[in-house]
With several copies, the nearest count.
Chain A
Amino acid sequence: MALPIAPKPLLRRFHQARWDEPVIFELSVPGERGVLVSEIEVEIGKSISTELHPVIARKVAPALPQMGQMKVLKHYLRLSQENLGADLNVDIGQGTCTMKYSPKVNDLIIRRAELFDLHPLQDPDKSQGALEIIWRTQEILAEVSGLDAVSLQTSSGSAAIWANVAMIRAYFQSIGEGDIRDEIVTTIFSHPSNAATAKAAGYKIITLHPDENGYPNIEEYKKVISHRTAALMITNPEDTGIFNPHIKEIVELFHSVGALASYDQANANGILGITRAKEAGFDLCHFNLHKTFSTPHACGGPGAGASCVTAKLEKFLPSPIIVKQGERFILDDDRPSSIGKVAPFYGVLPNIVRAYSWIMNLGAKGLREVAEVAVLNNNYLLKNMIQIKGATAPYAPNRPRVEQVRYSWNELFEKTGITTEEIGLRALDFGLHYWTSHHPFIVPQPLTLEPTEAYSREELDEYLNVLRHIAKEAVDNPEIIRTAPHNQTVHQTAHEDFDNPERWAITWRAYLRKYPEVSKRKRAKS
């Protein structure tokens, strides 16, 4: 042992932080306090009782943990280290989710009282800044989609799709076709939320399957549309990363039977400034600000959704909308055809401001650069991936992909019995997240990679090297894969109980109730 230091091996020798933390209730010590509450002033205390009506007064205080402040902090900091986070990861394995850099400057910008300490019902004269940013973001997204009007009220992509479905429904009700048009057409490689929200709105769902090109033949659409069709709800490029070049024709087909067409642009990352809802003739579309527009994913929300519509549908947008009047920004709530509220107030402001900042740092040229480099990165991965033995990119052979590719490990599986889930668990040992794509697995043993613009070539190579290595291990040493993860916070987790109502434990209290031996043990200890 002495200088110089040998070269590092090809693969990172990773271990995730492991704190073996108890569940927070186990850290409770009677009498400890995490934070004290503003006290009732002596004068108020003298004259005012705090008793509640005896019928409703709580008799037993809730059994929350009692912990000193540093203990609470420490527990959650440790848990945070046990969480990978896009900031620490080469997060290209979560295809369809557009994991990209959420710039820290945008987080810094939002952490100010001038944003977090605004009440939605305060004098609009004192929230002109917030309203201005919402309005500007609406304007920008109108241009990015090519459509005419935008609402930022929803807090996720699916909720924005929901709002779009609700507007479709309202539109047909407004023209007296609400009862007739009860079908919505989607494709199996469109995000599940298109089907699910439409179903929740009361529609019957017709799902088309792809041919060898990766998308349904246009003839399939012709077979299913009719006067009962309310709308097409489609992602394009679909989850395969394949762009359906017939999209305009398809939209026209729907229009020809009086139906609408709604475009799921949750992920517009590969086509920013390249092609839009407008060019293909869509009536509605939505964006996820938490994907394409970089707001952080926040462990699964809050996100922020944008619903964009043509002028024809503008009056159905959720209320209020923010409009500019002279130099002032006002809330317009007087909109009788509106579908009303889909979410509280005006949307997830911190995310709207973040997205606005992100866009304003890039401009039109920058957005296009985002798209181009995302697509470049994706095709670079594709070129490499299909050279890995056992991996394929189903459909449309030799065609480029847009922003992502749904790969298949089926060949590897057939040869070795190693599944995509197992590969995923093994990838964790190298500090990389890997997701096996949405059910149902139309593509067998799927893996969807979406590199976005945020990752450097070296990082893409790191990911590829790990996959190459695991593909080789599947042949040479499958046991190490089957017993993975080895270098993670926890080890292989059982899962039978998760689907067994008698045995599952969704909360600590349910766990103690269902497994009294644990409570007994705990009581014995203390």
Chain B
Amino acid sequence: MADRSKSAHPYIPNSNPDVKKAMLDYIGVDSIEAFYSDIPKNLRVQGELNLPDPFLNEQDLVRHVVGILNKNTPQGEMLSFLGAGTYNHFVPAVVDEVINRSEFLTAYAGDPYEDHGRFQALFEYESMMAELVNMDVVNVPTYDGMQAAATSMAMAERITGRNKILVASRINPDKLSKVLNYNQMKLEFVFINEIDGQPDLAGIEKHLDSSCAAIWVETPNYLGTLCTKIQAISEIAKRNDSLLIVGTDPIVLGILESPADQGADIIHGDIQSLGIHCWFGGGHGGFIAVHDDTKFVMELPSRLFGMESTSVEGEYGFGDVAYERTSFALREEGKEWVGTAAALWGIAAGVYLALMGADGMVEVGQTIIARTRYAAKKLGTISGLKISDSALQFREFVVDSTESGKNAKELIALARKRNAEIGVPISEYELLVCVTEMNTQRDIDQLFDLMSEIVRAK
């Protein structure tokens, strides 16, 4: 009965031959080839692309793709203590509900009228982030925390006209790779080793000079250590008219004083912790916060959504603030560039912060601190492992296995055999262990048992 070959493809309504014919007739050409007449023959692909056979119907497609994905094992089905850039925090269901709404998921670049919702949601995101950092300006998210860091440095160069950054904290090497490559033509980076996990004030002073655009501190740093010296560094920076740039993770800001209140001029970080799943490392967004100071605001490349009145009293309108900064308006004369970035993750983070509220952000910080400290303390009792003081650790800490005689890779291999991920190797004998609110006491106790066992294993 049904001739299956004549079906239009479900995604291409006009692929039905009768419709095509009618449209061609209307246009007055014989074939679609006519529209390609500007493409010379020697530029044409010969024959068909060499691609795998497709799964034309949805049922077979699902079976194929899900079949591949099922080769993965999610963290939820193992014991996992992995961090180092992507973190396994809890994502409330409402967050996913909101960002999976067709209206948000598929919108793009509408005006502040038909996309009022997107503008308001992102203005609210900016505003809630601003409360966390205690600064008046936060961007619509850029790609990720790495880009936010890179751009923060570039902003410092433009703001100060200077070309040197003092790197005072230990930085995630991936992030550093990005920042250095990004800024290689304009900035020189000077690394000042930490002392006991804290920036070396004397070292900073030593390298400070009039070419110093900014001092870059991270709290927590790559190893999870919170920085107690921001205020002091800020004073040093100020004396030298350098900026203080602080990288952080917003999930700590329920319990950590904002670096802005300790003198930071630019704060940047990644919002993945705020309601975004791990996605194999593909769920990141970057924030940059500054004070409401034109000198700073005008150097932000990202879009900034602001509030405005409308012709109707009491109606909230929204729109782009200082659009003329951007590459959309000015091409290469704009600030870096702007384009598709990470707006939906920004909405997710906004929903997350609204759900958590002040109390939630305080509590999640406390829970993480408590469990991190508990884990560090327990693991520290295993002979052969050494954990430095965990008083300033947030979510991550380092386990040194030198004394056990087993290096990090060996331990990881042993643990993986037991369906556990115990951490990320950061040197031959050092493991970075990550504990979030997702790791309950029971999980940590299991980690303890497992580590005890594999440290001893022959």
Indicate whether A341 reaches chain B with its CB closer than 8 angstroms.
yes
The answer to whether A276 and B45 have CB atoms under 8 Å apart is yes
Indicate whether B30 reaches chain A with its CB closer than 8 angstroms.
no
Question: What 1/0 flags go to A280-310 for Cβ under 8 Å of B?
Answer: 1000000010100010111111110000000
Using A3-B308, A433-B111, A433-B114 as known contacts, list a sample of 11 further A-B pairs with CB atoms less than 8 Å apart, ordered by residue number in A: A23-B124, A25-B124, A50-B255, A63-B131, A65-B354, A80-B101, A83-B104, A83-B118, A297-B108, A370-B11, A495-B308
The answer to whether A31 and B8 have CB atoms under 8 Å apart is yes
In angstroms, Cα B8 to Cα A455, docked, is 13
In angstroms, Cα B100 to Cα A366, docked, is 27
**Which A residues are CB-close (under 8 A) to B278?**
116-120
Indicate whether B202 reaches chain A with its CB closer than 8 angstroms.
no
The answer to whether A44 and B341 have CB atoms under 8 Å apart is no
**Which A residues are CB-close (under 8 A) to B75?**
117-119, 122
Contact of A494 among B270, B317, B351 (CB under 8 A): B317
- Interface CB pairs A-B, < 8 A, 16: A31-B8, A33-B8, A36-B7, A44-B371, A56-B256, A61-B362, A62-B358, A79-B117, A108-B96, A117-B74, A156-B339, A297-B106, A302-B342, A433-B111, A491-B311, A513-B136
Q: In the complex, which residue of chain B has the Cβ closest to the Cβ of A455? A: B13
In angstroms, Cα B26 to Cα A195, docked, is 39
Q: In the complex, which residue of chain B has the Cβ closest to the Cβ of A281? A: B43
In angstroms, Cα B125 to Cα A65, docked, is 12
The answer to whether B340 and A69 have CB atoms under 8 Å apart is no
The answer to whether B35 and A120 have CB atoms under 8 Å apart is no
Indicate whether B68 reaches chain A with its CB closer than 8 angstroms.
yes
Give residues of chain B (25-83) contacting chain A, Cβ–Cβ below 8 Å: 26-29, 32, 34-40, 42-45, 48-62, 64-66, 68-78, 80, 82
Given contacts A31-B17, A243-B38, A300-B140, contact A349 B9 (CB under 8 A): no
Q: In the complex, which residue of chain A has the Cβ closest to the Cβ of B37? A: A400
The size of the chain B interface, using a CB distance under 8 A, is 230
In angstroms, Cα B321 to Cα A464, docked, is 32
**Which A residues are CB-close (under 8 A) to B231?**
55
Give residues of chain B (298-322) contacting chain A, Cβ–Cβ below 8 Å: 303-322
**Which A residues are CB-close (under 8 A) to B19?**
29, 31, 456-457
**Which B residues are CB-close (under 8 A) to A1?**
308-311
Contact of A489 among B114, B178, B254 (CB under 8 A): B114
Indicate whether A224 reaches chain B with its CB closer than 8 angstroms.
no
State which size class the interface on A falls in: 35 or more
CB distance from B258 to the nearest CB of A (A): 7
The answer to whether A498 and B255 have CB atoms under 8 Å apart is no
Indicate whether B203 reaches chain A with its CB closer than 8 angstroms.
no
Contact of A97 among B10, B108, B120, B316 (CB under 8 A): B108
Q: In the complex, which residue of chain A has the Cβ closest to the Cβ of B40? A: A245
Most buried by A among B7, B279, B356: B279
The answer to whether A83 and B115 have CB atoms under 8 Å apart is yes
The answer to whether A196 and B10 have CB atoms under 8 Å apart is no
Q: How many A-B residue pairs have CB under 8 A?
A: 821
Question: What 1/0 flags go to B80-96 for Cβ under 8 Å of A?
Answer: 10101110101011101
In angstroms, Cα B13 to Cα A68, docked, is 5
The answer to whether A83 and B360 have CB atoms under 8 Å apart is no
**Which A residues are CB-close (under 8 A) to B56?**
36, 39, 361, 363, 366
**Which B residues are CB-close (under 8 A) to A108?**
62, 93, 96-97
**Which A residues are CB-close (under 8 A) to B313?**
5-6, 9
Give residues of chain B (100-133) contacting chain A, Cβ–Cβ below 8 Å: 100-118, 120-124, 126-128, 130-132
**Which A residues are CB-close (under 8 A) to B201?**
none
Give residues of chain A (311-353) contacting chain B, Cβ–Cβ below 8 Å: 339-353
**Which A residues are CB-close (under 8 A) to B280?**
115, 118-120, 127, 130, 345-346, 349
The answer to whether B128 and A383 have CB atoms under 8 Å apart is no
In angstroms, Cα B42 to Cα A247, docked, is 11
Q: In the complex, which residue of chain B has the Cβ closest to the Cβ of A36? A: B57
Contact of A504 among B85, B126, B321, B364 (CB under 8 A): B321
In angstroms, Cα B281 to Cα A323, docked, is 18
In angstroms, Cα B37 to Cα A9, docked, is 39
Most buried by B among A45, A105, A199: A105
**Which B residues are CB-close (under 8 A) to A151?**
none
Indicate whether A180 reaches chain B with its CB closer than 8 angstroms.
no
Given contacts A495-B319, A498-B308, contact A345 B86 (CB under 8 A): yes
Most buried by A among B20, B177, B230, B332: B332
The answer to whether B114 and A33 have CB atoms under 8 Å apart is no
**Which B residues are CB-close (under 8 A) to A59?**
257
In angstroms, Cα B18 to Cα A247, docked, is 35
The answer to whether B310 and A87 have CB atoms under 8 Å apart is no
Given contacts A1-B310, A242-B38, contact A425 B111 (CB under 8 A): yes
Indicate whether B383 reaches chain A with its CB closer than 8 angstroms.
no
Q: In the complex, which residue of chain B has the Cβ closest to the Cβ of A459? A: B13
The answer to whether A340 and B281 have CB atoms under 8 Å apart is no
Indicate whether A164 reaches chain B with its CB closer than 8 angstroms.
no
Give residues of chain A (351-376) contacting chain B, Cβ–Cβ below 8 Å: 351-353, 356-357, 359-370, 372-373, 375-376
In angstroms, Cα B122 to Cα A125, docked, is 38
Given contacts A113-B74, A140-B51, A375-B32, contact A490 B178 (CB under 8 A): no
Q: Which of the segments A201-209, A407-415, A472-480 contacts the partner chain?
A: A201-209
Q: In the complex, which residue of chain A has the Cβ closest to the Cβ of B106? A: A86
Indicate whether B266 reaches chain A with its CB closer than 8 angstroms.
no
The answer to whether A48 and B45 have CB atoms under 8 Å apart is no
Contact of B14 among A62, A114, A376 (CB under 8 A): A376
Most buried by A among B68, B107, B228, B320: B107
Q: Which of the segments B189-197, B205-213, B323-331 contacts the partner chain?
A: B323-331
Given contacts A35-B58, A207-B331, contact A63 B358 (CB under 8 A): yes
In angstroms, Cα B10 to Cα A480, docked, is 39
**Which A residues are CB-close (under 8 A) to B126?**
506-507
In angstroms, Cα B219 to Cα A454, docked, is 40
The answer to whether A77 and B98 have CB atoms under 8 Å apart is yes
CB distance from B440 to the nearest CB of A (A): 7
**Which A residues are CB-close (under 8 A) to B402?**
none
Contact of B52 among A154, A360, A402 (CB under 8 A): A360
Indicate whether B367 reaches chain A with its CB closer than 8 angstroms.
yes
Indicate whether A175 reaches chain B with its CB closer than 8 angstroms.
no
Q: In the complex, which residue of chain B has the Cβ closest to the Cβ of A352? A: B282
User: Can you list the 3 inter-chain pairs with the closest CB atoms, starting with the nearest?
Assistant: A345-B281, A363-B54, A120-B281
The answer to whether A199 and B332 have CB atoms under 8 Å apart is yes
**Which A residues are CB-close (under 8 A) to B353?**
64
Question: What 1/0 flags go to A112-138 for Cβ under 8 Å of B?
Answer: 111111111111011111101100100
**Which B residues are CB-close (under 8 A) to A69?**
10-11, 94, 355
Q: In the complex, which residue of chain A has the Cβ closest to the Cβ of B16? A: A31
Contact of A166 among B61, B181, B377 (CB under 8 A): B181
Question: What 1/0 flags go to A140-172 for Cβ under 8 Å of B?
Answer: 100110100000001111110010001001000
In angstroms, Cα B113 to Cα A227, docked, is 49
In angstroms, Cα B147 to Cα A519, docked, is 35
In angstroms, Cα B131 to Cα A359, docked, is 35
Indicate whether B384 reaches chain A with its CB closer than 8 angstroms.
no
Given contacts A207-B331, A425-B111, contact A62 B23 (CB under 8 A): no
The answer to whether B341 and A300 have CB atoms under 8 Å apart is yes
**Which B residues are CB-close (under 8 A) to A524?**
none
